Structure 1
Amino acid sequence: MNNYEQQYYKVFEVPFRETYLHLKASQDTGRRRYSFTKLDFGDGPIFFTNADKGEMPFIVSDFLLHGFFPVVSKKIAEMITPYNINGFQLFPAVLIGDDEKWHEDFFFFNAYGNLDCIDFDSSEILDYSPEDSRHEIIRYKFKNEVLDAIPLENRLIVRPSKVAGGGLLIHESIVTKLSKHIDPKAFKFFRLSEYKLGDKYS
């Protein structure tokens, strides 16, 4: 039996850093419902600015987070492009600096498909009720039979359904590639088998 909790990770910003870049979607980007629908390439890229302009410097890196969703450089995107991942596409993004300069060749993790892959009865959940439409998960347990039925390439990045706060679960094979280009002082990956709610603040 596969222990999928050992194979998947969540990623968070390291808290309490002196400098960071929080991305804010432009108004037009917000109208495109970019966080939960499949974006159309014909509509052009999406745009982000510095949410803390005037308070924090605009410093770009190969890997950034907008909420739970990575925004990555072309270098990282090229590592993921060869894979056919269900309900997912790398979508062009432009980061607009505090000086209004455009930083192109970035890509947003447009995870538009949800997968019913979490075993809520076996997971540890805060105030669990089966009738709830979303659940705040303390510790994750997968529905192994769901992942068993999907080829690995197609589930390298998963957006689980009915999980409060959303977020993406990233397979260890992708994490290995990403971690070579990510500052560990800025972002941290948590293996699901070791993760519990609130660990991102530790």
Structure 2
Amino acid sequence: MKNTFPFRKTSGSILVLFAIFLFSSCKKNNPANLEVIPTAPATYSLLRIDYYLEPGDKVYTTTHKLKSYELRNTLNIQTQHSYFEDFQELNRKSLFSLKDVNGDLAKVMGLSKLTLETPTIVNISTLYTIYTQNEGWTMSTNLQEKPFNYLEPKNQVLRVPAKSSITVDRSIQEYSAIVTFRATIKNDKTGETHAVKGKWNGTLSFSNYDVTLSQKSLK
């Protein structure tokens, strides 16, 4: 008997091959199988920062009482006593606040990681800041503090009269300022620049160190 189904067999084979081809093509073009090359995030740098005074900006002082000492002499003769004069209780401070800057944009630009200079002297009469120092502050909206290490600690010696005590009271003034700043931030990849404005509130300097001696009898 002759085979009456040759065409059907051939058609079936073609359909099977076509299905395999489609499956193979879909698998190759599936986005899930494509290798994704990550794009490096943009980096930003500080081109310039200027400080100046606007209405409401100011310089203010804070008096810090430092560690006191009581030197006692219970003997009937004058004696020498010493105390350690240090300033480890003092911290310099820096706090930035941003104006008209979207929080997400500030985060993307990494403002809290940008290192910059801050003023040390503010000339109120001419409404500008002069002299800057590279303190390594960052443009962070969180309070930053660093130890004040500009006065060398040392031992001080006093002569205390017989049957007496001397109290050593120490204080120092911290000069701080609230000033306005304007910074130019650059996208290192595209060259695009962004203007960032806000306020800086921080330590200018410490000055007017004062030592007061008070004597009283132990009799």
Q: Which bracket does the TM-score occupy, shorter chain normalised?
A: under 0.3
More strand per residue: 2
Structure number with bigger Rg: 2
Q: TM-score, normalised by structure 1?
A: 0.23
Q: TM-score, normalised by structure 2?
A: 0.22
